């Protein structure tokens, strides 16, 4: 690992964020234009501009497709991509494990089980039918995370990369079977097994986007608040304790925050694998490992990646539409092997 | 400054540190010596509140259990044996982490002294030129110097070392120990360290605590503690004879 000794600290420029934001906006615009019905870029931009400015426009097919179908979907995809990538970055730092992510560790599957049970049993919160599903997904995500970490800790006190992933894989397989049982016995009430295991954004609306935005804002602020602690954990948990980080409390807060955010994402879109695994690595290549820069960069990279994955899922085999998880898993599995290989080689 | 009273640490039902008491005063460099499994590292872990223990550690008259982690870190810094890195942080970023407990406010600012101390720590450990280097490009000796700089940046009055020069070549061992000895010269400072190499202990320590099977065999000034009989009892070996025989090899050829 010798070679250039220059670090990201020297190469980083705030312009990186400006470029990432511009790329994100362009990708969003592209995703709104493209699909089974192609809408000219100028038309799309005009409709969105008028809607944002509150101008009333005559009903048209394009306007209907853009504002009622594609825009809310694109917003949801961006927010889920950003949130999952943020969670991956935080978990990889906290656990000092480059392969940690909601999907590799089985947290997303746990959340999906919670959401599926809530739908099957018809749980709802007063004033919000969807709230019950989200809350159950959050609770199950946290429960799964605690269970996996406890099992991994019992097996290997150093919480090594290998043990966590191994337990995560077994846990995910087990949970998938339980979800299929839940789906089989309550087919009228819950969504398909495909939705829970591969994810989907069809039918997402502005109320989903609002929920995701609120969750991302709150959880994102909490994680940003703990950026220095995440750096300390990424250097080493013992080192973090020695420099004065209240290790247990900070770890618990970060794990709860990450579980809550993953839970909200899964309740909206099912399990979209590998975004949280790969995108923090891409962000690290752009801005380095310091969480002050890494967390914001992960937001952008996750959103852009998931938008492009969705675009590929909708257009590559058009008119057949693939599940978004098929695309992320195809890319993610390859990336997983590359990262795992490098980790083992370095370790 | 630091004292431990009737400290016991158990792993399961087995006591690893057993009813041990000691005290450390400013100006002292206390060496924890003893064979593998004597409980030295566990005692260090207990001092830094890393493992549950019974008994009481007192820091400047206060029970350490009642002191918050941040407050402890402002007074006590720890340099551990091995620090491997997974991510490409720069040397400066890792050294800067030593200021964590001193930083206040939402943005972690308000630590005006910090920048100066980080600069000094980089200079003292000879890392100024490597400040922007990625941790992943450093050798074992350089990495250990970065963590030494981090504890200096922490500006503690007690430095705890757990075999800091283990696995390092002679040049780095000497450089790290000499640097720590210079650091200790300032009034009000003390060092507590685990060292396997008794020659190093003898050379740099002022005091020693000799341990076997979790208990203190003897403690006090280093020349008294590392006496022939106690060392023989602890190591089941005539350490003096061994050291002399080893030293005999180091004469210039006639």
Tell me the chain A residues in contact with residue B89 when contact means C-beta distances shorter than 8 Å.
Answer: 7, 231, 234-235, 288-290
Q: How far is B205 from chain A (nearest CA, A)?
A: 23
- What pLDDT, on a 0 to 100 scale, did the predictor assign at position A242? 92
Mean pLDDT of B173-185: 88
What Å distances lie between residue B250 and B117, B244, B245, B246, B247, CA to CA? Answer: 41, 10, 10, 8, 5
CA dihedral sign of residues A145, A146, A150, A151: negative
Q: Which two tokens stand for residue B37?
A: 């499994």
Residues from chain A contacting residue B133 (CB–CB below 8 Å) = 5-7
Nearest CA in chain B to A290: B89
pLDDT at B72 (0 to 100) = 92
Domain ranges of chain B: 2-248
pLDDT digits (tens, 9 = 90+) for B121-144: 999 888 999 999 999 988 888 888
Q: What is the pLDDT of residue A2?
A: 40
Contacts of A210 (CB under 8 A, 6+ apart): none
Dump pLDDT digits (tens) for A306-323: 999 999 998 888 778 888
Angle at A273 between CA A269 and CA A278, to 5 degrees: 125
Angstrom distances, CA of residue A309 to CA of A71, A89, B28, B112:
16, 19, 62, 46
Give the whole-number percent of chain B exceeding pLDDT 90.
49
Is the model's pLDDT at A289 over the cut of 90? Answer: yes
Average pLDDT over residues B90-107: 85
Q: Which of residues 210-229 of A touch B (CB under 8 A)?
A: 225, 228
Q: Report yes or no: A238 at the B interface, CB cutoff 8 Å.
A: yes
Contact A235 B132 (CB under 8 A): no
pLDDT of residue A347: 46
pLDDT of residue A1: 37
Check residue A159 and give its pLDDT: 62
The string of DSSP codes covering A44-63 is: HHHHHHHHHHT------HHH
Contact B130 A236 (CB under 8 A): no
B48/A6 CB distance under 8 A: no
Work out the mean pLDDT of chain B and round it to a whole number.
88
- Six token digits for residue A228: 């220095």
The per-residue pLDDT for A47 is 87
Residues A24-53 have a mean pLDDT of 87
* CB distance A144 to A103 below 8 Å: no
**Both tokens of residue A135?**
């809350």
* Length of chain B counted residue by residue: 254
Q: Which of B71, B77, B130 sits opposite A242 (nearest CB)?
A: B77
Give the model confidence (pLDDT) of B6-45 as tens digits: 999 998 888 999 999 999 999 999 999 998 888 999 999 8
Nearest CA in chain A to B148: A239
Q: What are phi and psi of A316, to 5 degrees?
A: -60, -45
Query: Among the ranges A14-23, A177-186, B112-121, which has the highest mean pLDDT value?
Result: A14-23
Region B66-81 average pLDDT? 90
- CB A324, CB A309: distance < 8 Å: yes
Q: What is the mean pLDDT of residues A178-200?
A: 78
Position A180 scores a pLDDT of 87
State yes or no: pLDDT of A294 exceeds 60: yes
Predicted local distance difference test score (pLDDT) of residue A9: 57
Q: For A128-179, what is each residue's pLDDT tens digit? A: 667 888 999 999 999 998 998 888 878 776 666 667 778 888 898 899 899 8
| Edge-to-edge strand list for the sheet holding B14-24 | B14-24, B2-11, B54-59, B62-63
Domains in chain A, ordered, with CATH? 9-67 (no CATH), 82-346 (1.10.3470.10)
User: B2-248 maps to which CATH number?
Assistant: 3.40.50.300
What is the pLDDT of chain A when averaged over all its residues?
A: 86
pLDDT of residue A26: 94
* Continuous H helices in chain B: 40-47, 69-75, 91-96, 112-124, 140-153, 170-184, 198-204, 222-225, 228-235, 239-248
pLDDT value, residue A229: 95
pLDDT at A158: 62
**How large is the average pLDDT for residues B165-191?**
85
Classify the C-alpha dihedral A75-A79-A85-A88 as positive or negative. negative
Among A7, A244, A290, select the one facing B133 at the smallest CB separation. Answer: A7
Q: How far away is chain A from the Cα of B142, in angstroms, using its nearest Cα?
A: 13
B137: nearest CA partner in chain A:
A2
């Amino acid at each position: 690992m010798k070679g250039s000794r220059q670090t990201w600290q020297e190469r980083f420029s705030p312009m990186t964020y400006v470029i990432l934001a511009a790329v994100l906006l362009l990708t969003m615009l592209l995703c709104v234009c493209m699909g089974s019905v192609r809408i000219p870029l100028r038309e799309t931009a005009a409709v969105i501009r008028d809607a944002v400015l509150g101008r009333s426009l005559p009903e048209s097919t394009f306007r209907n497709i853009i504002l009622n179908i594609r825009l809310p979907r694109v917003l949801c995809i961006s927010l889920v991509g950003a949130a999952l990538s943020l969670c991956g970055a935080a978990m990889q730092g906290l656990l000092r494990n480059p392969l940690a992510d909601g999907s590799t560790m089985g947290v997303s599957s746990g959340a999906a089980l919670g959401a599926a049970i809530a739908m099957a049993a018809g749980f709802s919160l007063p004033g919000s039918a969807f709230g019950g599903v989200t809350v159950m997904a959050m609770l199950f995500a946290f429960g799964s995370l605690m269970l996996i970490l406890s099992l991994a800790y019992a097996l290997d006190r150093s919480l090594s990369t290998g043990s966590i992933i191994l337990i995560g894989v077994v846990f995910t397989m087990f949970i998938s079977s339980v979800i299929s049982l839940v789906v089989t016995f309550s087919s009228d009430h819950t969504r398909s097994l495909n939705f829970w295991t591969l994810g989907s954004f069809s039918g997402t609306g502005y109320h989903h986007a609002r929920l995701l935005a609120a969750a991302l804002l709150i959880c994102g602020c909490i994680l940003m608040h703990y950026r220095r602690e995440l750096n300390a954990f990424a250097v080493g948990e013992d080192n973090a304790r020695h420099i004065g980080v209240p290790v247990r409390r900070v770890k618990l807060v970060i794990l709860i925050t990450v579980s809550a955010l993953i839970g909200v994402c899964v309740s909206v879109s099912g399990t979209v694998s590998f975004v949280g695994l790969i995108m923090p690595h891409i962000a690290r290549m752009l801005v380095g490992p310091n969480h002050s820069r890494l967390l914001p960069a992960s937001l952008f990279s996750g959103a852009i990646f998931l938008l492009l994955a969705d675009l590929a899922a909708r257009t590559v085999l058009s008119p057949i539409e693939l599940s978004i998880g098929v695309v992320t898993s195809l890319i993610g599995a390859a990336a997983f092997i590359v990262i795992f290989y490098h980790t083992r080689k370095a370790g | 400054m630091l004292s431990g009273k009737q400290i016991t640490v158990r792993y399961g039902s087995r006591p690893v540190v057993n009813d041990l008491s000691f005290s450390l005063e400013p100006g002292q460099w206390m060496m924890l010596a003893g064979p593998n499994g004597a409980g030295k590292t566990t005692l260090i872990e207990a001092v830094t509140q890393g493992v549950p223990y019974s008994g009481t550690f007192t820091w400047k008259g206060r029970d350490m259990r009642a002191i918050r982690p941040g407050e402890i870190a402002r007074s006590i810094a720890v340099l551990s044996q091995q620090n491997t890195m997974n991510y490409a942080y720069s040397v400066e970023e890792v050294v800067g982490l030593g200021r964590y407990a001193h930083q206040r406010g939402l943005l972690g600012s308000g630590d005006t002294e910090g920048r100066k101390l980080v600069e000094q720590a980089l200079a003292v450990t000879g890392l100024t030129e490597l400040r922007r280097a990625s941790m992943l490009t450093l050798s074992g000796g350089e990495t250990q110097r970065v963590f030494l700089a981090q504890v200096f940046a922490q500006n503690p009055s007690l430095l705890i070392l757990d075999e800091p020069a283990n696995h390092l070549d002679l040049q780095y061992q000497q450089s790290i120990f000499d640097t720590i000895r210079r650091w200790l010269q300032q009034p009000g400072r003390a060092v507590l360290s685990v060292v396997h190499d008794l020659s190093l202990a003898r050379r740099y320590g002022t005091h020693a605590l000799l341990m076997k099977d979790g208990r203190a065999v003897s403690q006090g000034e280093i020349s008294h503690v590392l006496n022939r009989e106690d060392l023989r009892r602890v190591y089941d070996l005539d350490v003096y004879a061994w050291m002399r025989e080893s030293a005999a090899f180091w004469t210039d050829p006639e």
